[in-house]
Amino acid sequence: LEAAQAFGATNRQTLWKVELPYALPQIMAGLNQTIMLSLSMVVIGALVGADGLGVPVLRAINTVNIALGFESGLMIVVVAIVLDRMLRMEGRK
């Protein structure tokens, strides 16, 4: 940061070329945690009437349908894994 200022970089250049690249791993980790938390909340969302992936899980819980529960839970896990891998690839750039 001090080197960029010493070489006459503007505030905008310092932000985009020094500060943001340095903070990117922390930003990506926070984004990853936020996405995983939101995926864990899909069942809670279904409990309050929202549509989405949580509805089959809730239906499986209410009807004690183990196969539907396993299938729905597995789908949520697959979505979580895909999103996690996409964020990791983006973070490595």
For the chain, 93 residues long, give each residue's pLDDT as a single digit of tens: 778 888 888 889 998 999 998 998 899 889 989 988 888 888 788 888 778 878 888 889 889 999 998 998 898 889 989 988 988 887 676
Give me the amino acid identity at 24.
L
From CA 10, how far away is CA 49, in angstroms rounded? 50
What pLDDT score was predicted for residue 45?
83
> What are the percentages of helix, strand and coil residues in the chain, rounded to 5?
85, 0, 15
Could you tell me if 18 and 29 are in contact, meaning their C-beta atoms sit under 8 angstroms apart? no
Residue 25: in which H helix or E strand, if any? helix 20-40
Q: How many CB atoms lie within 10 A of CB 6?
A: 8
Full-model pTM: 0.68
